[in-house]
Amino acid sequence: MPEKRIYNFNPGPAALPLPVLEEIQKELLNYRGSGMSVMEISHRSSWFENILNDAIERTQRLLGLDERFHVLFIQGGASLQFAMIPMNFLPEGKSADYVNTGTWSTKAIKEAEIQNKPHHVIASSEDRDFAYIPENIQFNKDAAFVHITSNNTIKGTQWHKFPDTGSVPIISDMSSDIFSRQLDINKFAMIYGGAQKNIGPSGICMAIIRDDMFKLIPEGLPSMLDYNTFLKKKSLYNTPPTFSIYTVQLVLKWIEETVGGLAAMEQRNQEKANILYDYIDSSDFYKGTADKESRSLMNITFRLPNEDLEKKFIGEAADSGLGGLKGHRSVGGCRASVYNAMSIEGVKALVEFMKKFEKANK
């Protein structure tokens, strides 16, 4: 067993900021004088109401949300949103546009197919194993919405400039880069993301939805699959994952008060990515898998000369306190997920290990 905390490069559930973990530890047995753990207090109590309200208010400040946007907390992760989005926002007689940039985009498209909802895959990077973000996309002017995945955890690509869709609403799965950079929220009708990569533990998904989208929702949907339910009941229609929301609140507090907001967060994330990419580019031993102009700042994917060396690399890295570097099982290779909570020191430690491993195994 490690004697101290490792540098955790897991893709999700991912690393949480140490100050957040320490605050949770401090409050775990007796939350704010309640005499109960935060996991024991009622979701109808003033204690939890304050947690929920603070999480929403910090989200509004960090993203610059105005009164048009509503912050909802929904169970089921981003995967449930794949089904709920066409169910709620794709009215009869309309079609939706999807851009396919990898596994999670493919899963979102599949959920529209399962419901027999009209849709078009208007662009895809599948022709080169999803190594890039498509450009010069021709969007349908009468589409109900355009769905994209802002960051692709498995393939290591990211939208650095969001597309101009005219008046067509953009909906984006931002599970792996939400709150990692500054964002012009006015470009979007909805953004959503599972918390377990950048803003908290698993168990909760944050969905931010613009007012006008709620008017599209048909009557007769099951209550728990209707966004209006979460809007009207302020995410408290049923018992939510209170501990997950509490942790999200603390992470947002850390981003806002300790890091200094999204501009500072983006600068920090760019610095981390540059350190690792610069070394990979300087080496003839490691090779990045994504096109340079499409590279993710969150998930840095790379290969070694052969699979045996990759297996050795992952094992020795773990022994050196660098965990979670195995690539997704569907693609193999290596992946360093450098989400918000990963420190610059952690990335530098990884690069130093990579240099030593290259020297010893060339």
Question: In this structure, are residues 95 and 144 in contact, taking their beta carbons and an 8 Å threshold?
Answer: yes
pLDDT averages per 10-residue partition of the chain, 362 residues? 86 97 97 96 97 98 98 97 98 96 98 98 97 96 97 97 95 98 96 97 97 97 98 97 98 98 98 98 97 98 98 97 95 97 98 98 91
> Residue 3 has what pLDDT?
72
pLDDT tens across 114-137, in order?
999 999 999 999 999 999 999 999
CATH number belonging to domain 21-259: 3.40.640.10
pTM of the model: 0.97
For every residue of the chain, which 3-state class applies, written as one string? CCCCCCEECCCCCCCCCHHHHHHHHHHCCCHHHCCCCCCCCCCCCHHHHHHHHHHHHHHHHHHCCCCCEEEEEECCHHHHHHHHHHHHHCCCCCCEEEEECCHHHHHHHHHHHHCCCCEEEEEECHHHCCCCCCCCCCCCCCCCCEEEECEECCCCEECCCCCCCCCCCEEEECCCCCCCCCCCHHHCCEEEEECCCCCCCCCCEEEEEEHHHHHHCCCCCCHHHCHHHHHHCCCCCCCCCHHHHHHHHHHHHHHHHHHCCHHHHHHHHHHHHHHHHHHHHHCCCCEECCCHHHECCCEEEEECCCHHHHHHHHHHHHHCCEECCECCCCCCCEEEECCCCCCHHHHHHHHHHHHHHHHHHC
Same fold, 21-259 and 262-361: no
> Residue 362 has what pLDDT?
85
Question: In this structure, are residues 89 and 217 in contact, taking their beta carbons and an 8 Å threshold?
Answer: yes
Q: Could you give the CA distance from residue 196 to residue 206 in angstroms, rounded to a whole number?
A: 11
Q: Which residue has the tokens 């400040």?
A: 61
| Residues 6 or more apart whose Cβ sits within 8 Å of residue 140 | 95, 97, 120, 122, 168
* Among the listed residues 14, 121, 104, the one whose alpha carbon sits nearest the alpha carbon of residue 330: 104
Fold for 262-361, please state it. Answer: Aspartate Aminotransferase, domain 1 (3.90.1150)
CA angle 18, 277, 102 (to 5 degrees): 85
* Farthest CA pair distance, the chain: 64
Question: In this structure, are residues 37 and 28 in contact, taking their beta carbons and an 8 Å threshold?
Answer: yes
| Residues 6 or more apart whose Cβ sits within 8 Å of residue 228 | 214, 217
* Among the listed residues 227, 82, 208, the one whose alpha carbon sits nearest the alpha carbon of residue 148: 82
Which residues are designated catalytic?
104, 173, 197
Q: Could you give the CA distance from residue 244 to residue 328 in angstroms, rounded to a whole number?
A: 25
Q: Could you give the CA distance from residue 172 to residue 190 in angstroms, rounded to a whole number?
A: 6
Q: Which residue has the tokens 């408290």?
A: 236
> Residue 2 has what pLDDT?
67
Q: Could you give the CA distance from residue 197 to residue 30 in angstroms, rounded to a whole number?
A: 27
Q: Could you give the CA distance from residue 207 to residue 317 in angstroms, rounded to a whole number?
A: 36
Give the start-to-end residue ranges of the domains of the chain.
21-259, 262-361
Q: Which residues pair with 192 in a beta bridge?
A: 173, 207
> Residue 55 has what pLDDT?
98
Which amino acid would we find at residue 67? Answer: E
> Residue 326 has what pLDDT?
97
CA 51 to chain centre: 21
Q: Could you give the CA distance from residue 26 to residue 10 in angstroms, rounded to a whole number?
A: 25
Q: At what angle do helices 242-253 and 18-27 cross, to 10 degrees?
A: 130
